[in-house]
Structures are given as structure tokens and as C-alpha cells.
Amino acid sequence: MRIGIVDPVHAIISDRLRRAGHAIVSLHSLSPEERASEMDRCQGLVVRSSVIDAERIDRSPGLRFIGRVGAGLENIDVAHCHRKGIRVLNSPEGNRDGVGESCVLLLLALMKMLIPANASVRSGLWPREALRGTDLRGKTVGIIGFGQMGSAFAEKLRGFGVRVLGHDKYRHGFSRAGIEECGLEQVMRESDVISLHLPLNGETAHYVDDTFLHSLKKPVWFINTSRGGVVHTKALLDAMDDGRVIAAGLDVLEFERPTLEGLDPSSDPNTLARLLAHDRVILTPHIAGVTHEGKVRMAEVLATKILHHFPHATS
């Protein structure tokens, strides 16, 4: 099978697929014209952030699978793949620990006033009372989306003495020690912390909007490490300004470019400027799952999945 590696990814994938007899073509160093021509001939594609839309899919008549190194699949037209019988694979198991740990990091940094404390000391100030923090122990953490990432966050919370509520529209039966499976209304009513772990699609775009935020029964700390587009940023900022959200830790923004190469402020520059200036928001550049270990594991997981379905070059 001819497999094109569209984006730079860990060499484990190429090495393992090549050892199984597949022909591997590195496409990321080619010109756009050469890359397109090579992709037309591939039976498999491995991507990271490149967009694979319906037009691209139709230009590869022999395409049998698309594998994404990572969790989200919004850069791939999955519905079109399904219509054409093309298998779509991803590897969220690979960086779940990184995301889970980053959620804990963001939450504790918000609750313990880490960023303003650091800035104060560097400015020659020592405002201990003004920086009095909040303990996580005894709080209720609501996790919306209980797949690999949401469950990883729940695992990392063990030992903090918290109550964990988990809600997932499509997954059930995950209640266990320390985790309560529940409906969204209970999450909104009882949570002190809300953390999002949702894919971005037509159903979840602006999932957190003004209606969602007005449904909160008490002020919350808010974490999003999933996709920026699931949050309507203006609504979130309004909720922070009127006290419905205490503070927010955002690893992802709705202003991100699809290629993950930076921000595009053109859609709403005023809201982006307002977000960047807000002193109760911690922002990181979509790096919750970007770890050295995660890079290796994501590649290993995806290679294993590909070889499970296509174990030999002739499969």
C-alpha cells in the first residue's frame, strides 16, 4: 500500500509501516503541486493539521484510510469518508495524559492566583492578602465529554478530595469510584468547576454560549482544552464580567487558524483584544497535549491502528 505522510510526524509511523512492507512517501517537503500529485496516488494518508476535504478525498480514487496523529478530526471530512468507505483513524490515547495534567495545571493556576502572584513578585510587590487563593479540595468538578481526555482529567483529580461529575451525550456506563455519571442539568447546577472535552462539529460549535452560561447555578472556574470553536468567546467574557464565571483557563481559542499555526483575528478583532486583555484568563497556545512523551505515544498508537486494519502491504 502506498501511504503518504502529509505533515511532519514522529518517524515511528514511517518506520513501522515500512517494516510491514508499505511504501512510504514523505509529502511535507514537496511543493504544493508535487504534494497534490503524490496524494492522488496514495491508498493511505497520515496527517497532523493538514485539511483533507471532500475535494481532496475525491482526487484520490484508491484511498482506503486517513490517519490523524492526534485526537480531533475537524480537519478531515469524516462524513464524506464514511460515504466512500474510507476508514478514518486517530490517536487520542497517545496524549491523554498530557491533556489531563494540563487541565489540573490550568485549574490550580487559576485557583491559586499563580499568574498575578508571579507578576507581582517580579514587579517588586508582595501582596499576600490580595492574592489569597482557593482550595480545590471539597469542590465539585463537572466534566463535559467523557472520552479519552475527559476521563484522563478525572483520573488526575484523584487525591485532591473533589467530587467529579461526568456528562457525555454519547457515552454511558462510566460511573466508578469517585466519578458520577450524570445529565448536563446536574453539571450546570452543582459544579464549581466546568471542563470541556468535546470534539468540534456542527453539533458542538458554540456549545458554550450565552444560554449555556446563564444556566449556571453558581459561579464556576472554567477550563477548555478541547477546541476553541466550542466556546462563544464573547459570551464567556460577558459571563466573567458579570460574575457567572470566576476565571477561565483556555488552551484553545475560536480564533485559531485551522492549521494550528497561530491566531486569525479577522473574524472578531474586538473580542480577541478583549480576551487578551482580561486579567482573569490564562491562555496557552493549544499545547495541553503537546509533550515529548505524547508525540511518541500518538505515533505509536496510530501506527498500531493502521497495522491492525492493514497489516501487510497487500492488505
pLDDT tens digits, one per residue of 95-137:
999 999 999 999 999 999 999 999 999 999 999 999 999 999 9
Residue 308 has a pLDDT of 97
Instruction: Report long-range pairs for 310-314 (Cβ below 8 Å, ≥24 apart).
Output: 310/1, 310/22, 310/44, 310/64, 310/65, 311/20, 312/20, 312/21, 313/1, 313/20, 313/21, 313/22, 313/23, 314/1, 314/21
Residue with cell 463537572: 142
DSSP result, 137-167: TT-EEEEE--SHHHHHHHHHTTTS--EEEEE
pLDDT band at 183 (very low <50, low <70, confident <90, very high): very high
Q: With 70 as the cut, is the pLDDT of residue 314 above it?
A: no
Residue of 102, 194, 94 whose CA lies nearest to 145: 194
Specify whether 38 is catalytic. no
Specify whether 256 is catalytic. yes
Q: What does CATH list as the number for 2-92+293-309?
A: 3.40.50.720
CA 99 – CA 286 distance, rounded (Å): 10
For range 59-68, the mean pLDDT? 97
30 dihedral zone (left: phi>0; alpha: psi -120 to 50; beta): beta
Residue 295 has a pLDDT of 96
For range 197-206, the mean pLDDT? 96
Under CATH, domain 96-283 is a member of which superfamily?
A: NAD(P)-binding Rossmann-like Domain (3.40.50.720)
Domain ranges for the chain, please list them.
2-92+293-309, 96-283
Q: Which three cell numbers stand for residue 13?
A: 509511523
Q: With 70 as the cut, is the pLDDT of residue 190 above it?
A: yes
Catalytic option among 16, 96, 227, 297: 227
Specify whether 122 is catalytic. no
Catalytic option among 38, 74, 181, 256: 256
Q: With 80 as the cut, is the pLDDT of residue 315 above it?
A: no
Q: Which three cell numbers stand for residue 17?
A: 509501516
**AA identity, residue 139:** K
The pTM of the full predicted model, rounded to 2 decimals, is 0.93
CA 281 – CA 290 distance, rounded (Å): 20
Please indicate whether the domains covering 2-92+293-309 and 96-283 agree at the CATH topology level. Answer: yes
CA 102 – CA 294 distance, rounded (Å): 12
Q: With 70 as the cut, is the pLDDT of residue 313 above it?
A: no
CA 211 – CA 39 distance, rounded (Å): 44
Catalytic option among 171, 278, 280, 286: 286
